Amino acid sequence: MIEYYNEDCMIGMARYPDKHFDLAIVDPPYGIGIDGGIGGGVKAKKSSFVKKGWDKECPSKHYFDELLRISKNQIIFGANHFISNIPINSRCWIVWDKLNGKNNFADCELAWTSFQSSVRKFAYKWQGMLQGDMKNKEHKIHPTQKPVALYKWILKNYAKPGDLILDTHVGSASSLIACYDMGFNAVGFEIDPDYYAASKKRLESFMAQIRLEEVME
């Protein structure tokens, strides 16, 4: 089951008891002002989205306190921008290598994890019009959208069958699509009504397609 709410995650998280979720996979604002698009300059065309102002600052320590309270394990993208707000050392970071080549986009994104294993790397092209799976190319509806394949890799390597997954900043719904496709129950929050509507439509379209394929088999 996928539960998806158009709600401030701080309000939503307050409803849950300690360690309710098995794994939180989150991609909160980094506080670097990229809510209107990413990139730009002579080597890469900037992606264009409505400037909404949600990336003015990173989440507060209170957010991370709540996240750690209600989940047993966590994977937090962008933590290199706000590690002092977590603040817990980790031996296991995830490196997403975007295979960007020579341009002014970031070569990688980093995710802090609560796991006690080695650093791991996931390589998947995510460069403008070029993606790692061009046959199933994803339409980008959010400026910080991540590929479904990335979340599937995370679930395969860090989640166990039956785990309940949490995403506090759903954005494009890539995380929820991955959860649904791999049979995980999940709860997600998205505060922006426009992104919520677009991502919910994307999620429901994917779920309907999967159900249709199952009927036709």
Task: Write out the chain's pLDDT in tens, 217 residues.
Answer: 999 999 999 999 999 999 999 999 999 998 777 766 655 443 444 456 787 777 778 899 999 999 999 999 999 999 999 999 999 999 999 999 999 877 667 889 999 999 999 999 999 998 878 899 999 899 999 999 999 999 999 999 999 999 999 999 999 999 999 999 999 999 999 999 999 999 999 999 999 988 777 776 6
Tokens encoding 90: 């980790």
Half-sphere exposure of 169 (CA within 13 A, CB side): 21
Main-chain phi, psi angles of 197, to 5 degrees? -60, -45
The rounded distance, in Å, linking the Cα atoms of 3 and 20 is 14
What is residue 31's predicted lDDT score, i.e. its pLDDT?
Answer: 77
What is residue 104's predicted lDDT score, i.e. its pLDDT?
Answer: 67
User: Among 77, 73, 46, 44, which Cα is nearest to 59's?
Assistant: 77
What is residue 217's predicted lDDT score, i.e. its pLDDT?
Answer: 62
Domains of the chain: 2-216 (3.40.50.150)
What is residue 44's predicted lDDT score, i.e. its pLDDT?
Answer: 42
CB-based burial of residue 165 (10 Å sphere; 0-12 exposed, 13-18 middle, 19+ buried)? Answer: buried
The rounded distance, in Å, linking the Cα atoms of 114 and 91 is 8
User: Among 82, 85, 69, 142, which Cα is nearest to 111's?
Assistant: 82
What pTM does this model have? 0.90
User: Among 217, 215, 3, 38, which Cα is nearest to 142's?
Assistant: 38
What stretches of 68-198 adopt beta strand conformation (E)? 71-77, 93-97, 108-113, 120-123, 126-127, 130-131, 164-167, 185-189
DSSP code, position 16: S
